[in-house]
């Protein structure tokens, strides 16, 4: 075996050791989950906004994101839950952000702000408490049904953004 082959093998082994010990790991690992909690209670949210459907869409987004990202399932009742959430929708707005040459709305922006809190069952002090907001732009349409559909899709996207930001904020605070 020549010296150059031996040097190459040693360099390859050294490189593999450096890369293997770099500390990277999967973000959805068992250690990163929200404690050992498996069941969560997400009640209907307090809604101070003008949207009658925002609380339902947001609640569904939280259940979907918590289940898909962290494997949590909804609890039957608050007493059977490992974690309990509380939320209050403080603002919902939809406003035009761009216009055509004929001064008609071309695009709208939907904005949603929510005060959130999560605590372990039976504990008074929350694990995390704060405000999260998100926005999404959606196209305008002359057809009212298409306009309403675009706004509902934007609301769904905003709710998912908020729920994802919430999960990240809670996990970062651990």
List, for residues 75-108, the tens digit of each pLDDT value: 888 889 999 999 999 999 999 999 999 989 999 9
CA distance 147 to 156: 14
The average pLDDT across 19-48 equals 66
Token pair in block for residue 32: 């990163």
* pLDDT tier, 6 (very low <50, low <70, confident <90, very high otherwise): confident
Least confident range from 21-30, 49-58, 124-133, 153-162: namely: 21-30
CA distance 84 to 92: 24
Token pair in block for residue 101: 């040459």
Buried/exposed 133-172: b ≥16 CB within 10 Å, e otherwise: ebbbebebeeeeeebeebbeebbbbbbbbbbbbbbeebbe
Which tops the pLDDT comparison, 85 or 11? 85
Tens-place pLDDT, residues 51-66? 888 999 999 999 999 8
Tell me the domains of the chain and their CATH numbers: 30-173 (3.30.160.150)
The answer, yes or no, to whether residue 121 has pLDDT greater than 60, is yes
């Amino acid at each position: 075996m020549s010296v150059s082959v031996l040097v190459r093998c040693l360099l390859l082994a050294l490189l593999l050791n450096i890369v293997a010990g770099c500390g990277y790991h999967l973000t959805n690992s068992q250690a990163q989950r929200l404690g050992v909690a498996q069941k969560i209670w997400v009640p209907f949210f307090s809604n101070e906004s003008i949207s009658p459907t925002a609380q339902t869409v947001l609640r569904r987004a939280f259940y979907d994101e918590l289940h898909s990202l962290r494997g949590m399932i909804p609890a039957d009742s608050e007493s059977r839950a490992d974690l309990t959430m509380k939320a209050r929708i403080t603002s919902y707005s939809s406003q035009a952000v761009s216009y055509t040459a004929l001064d008609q709305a071309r695009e709208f922006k939907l904005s949603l702000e929510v005060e959130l809190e999560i605590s372990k069952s039976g504990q008074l002090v929350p694990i995390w408490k704060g405000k999260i907001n998100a926005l999404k732009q959606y196209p305008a349409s002359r057809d009212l049904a298409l306009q309403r559909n675009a706004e509902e899709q934007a609301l769904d996207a905003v709710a998912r953004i908020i729920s994802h930001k919430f999960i990240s904020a809670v996990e970062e605070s651990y």
